Amino acid sequence: MQILDGKALAKKIEDRVAVDAKTLKETTGRTPGLAVILVGNDPASHAYVSMKKKACDRVGFYSVTHEMPADISQDAIENTIKMMNQNTSIDGILIQLPLPPQVDTTKLLELVAPNKDVDGFHPYNVGRLTTGLEGFVPCTPLGVMELLKEYNIDPKGMNAVVVGASNIVGKPMAALLLNADATVQITHIYTKDLKACTLNADIILVGAGVINLIKEDMVKEGAIVIDIGINRAPDGKLVGDVDFKNVSSKCSFITPVPGGVGPMTIAMLLQNTLRAAQAHAKES
Ligand code: GUN
């Protein structure tokens, strides 16, 4: 069994992004800029945004966070997005999800200029991904693909089972695997026999938010297991969706939590923001 070390790869990518950002600054005068919208007091969202901001600082990006109260109006957020779309020093716009229930999330995501949509959540970029065209790809599944590439794992022809069908993780993960010529199955809470699906998988990618959802008897000998879950265990520790201790002995490769997919998400956000800045520098 080999550990897929997301922390190490993320560091390597960050170093490269920092060098490329410096070059961009020297050649065009442009500093990559990320604007974040953070609504309400969800501790996890605050923690994620803080990590993203620190990552921007490490690689020399400009970043700004617009914090808004949980009872903010739809109009106020829309106006903020419109302002960010117009602001030429902002290359990437990120709306931290989830948003409070009174807010129409879909409408907000559709308002983000597609060429600043570094999270890849705008339907324009979602459509480009499913069509196999270039565009912004959601950071977490993109990070998984980078991690596989780093370890020379080619999903072509594999039976890939994605557990969880969210717009942020499961669906784009499935699209990327399909584009990479895997045979893809997406499972979700209404799937009748999850174990029957996962036992057939050469690679299992799970982002369901359920501690110990994937157990030893659900994994084929030699399978690759990618844990995209981040959960807080009762003892306060961060754990994924996979029973790592028991599953890892059956796997050929497995990602740890923490230190697997999580750091790759942030590295991909930096990479997407750099790409946006490089494109904007060419346009201006
Ligand atoms: N909430 C959970 N994951 C993400 C993510 O990747 N991007 C944003 N914007 N919000 C999230």
Distance CA 121, CA 203 (A): 25
Domain boundaries defined on the chain: 28-115, 139-262
For 248-268, write each residue's pLDDT tens digit: 999 999 999 999 999 999 999
Q: Domain 139-262 is in which class?
A: alpha beta
CATH for 28-115 (3.40.250.10, 2.150.10.10, 3.40.50.10420, 3.40.50.10860): 3.40.50.10860
Asked if 28-115 and 139-262 have one fold, the answer is: yes
Q: Which string of b and e fits 140-159 if b means at least 16 CB within 10 Å?
A: bbbbbbbbbebeebebeebb
pTM for the full predicted model: 0.98
Residue minimizing CA distance to atom 1 of ligand 1: 97
At residue 35, what are phi and psi to the nearest 5 degrees? Answer: -110, 135
Residue minimizing CA distance to atom 2 of ligand 1: 97
52 given a catalytic annotation: yes
Atom of ligand 1 nearest to the CA of 269: 6
- Which pLDDT score, from 0 to 100, does residue 69 have? 98
For 65-119, write each residue's pLDDT tens digit: 999 999 999 999 999 999 999 999 999 999 999 999 999 999 999 999 999 999 9
Q: pLDDT band at residue 61, thresholds of 50, 70 and 90?
A: very high
Tokens of 120: 């890849």
Residue 284 has pLDDT above 90, yes or no: no
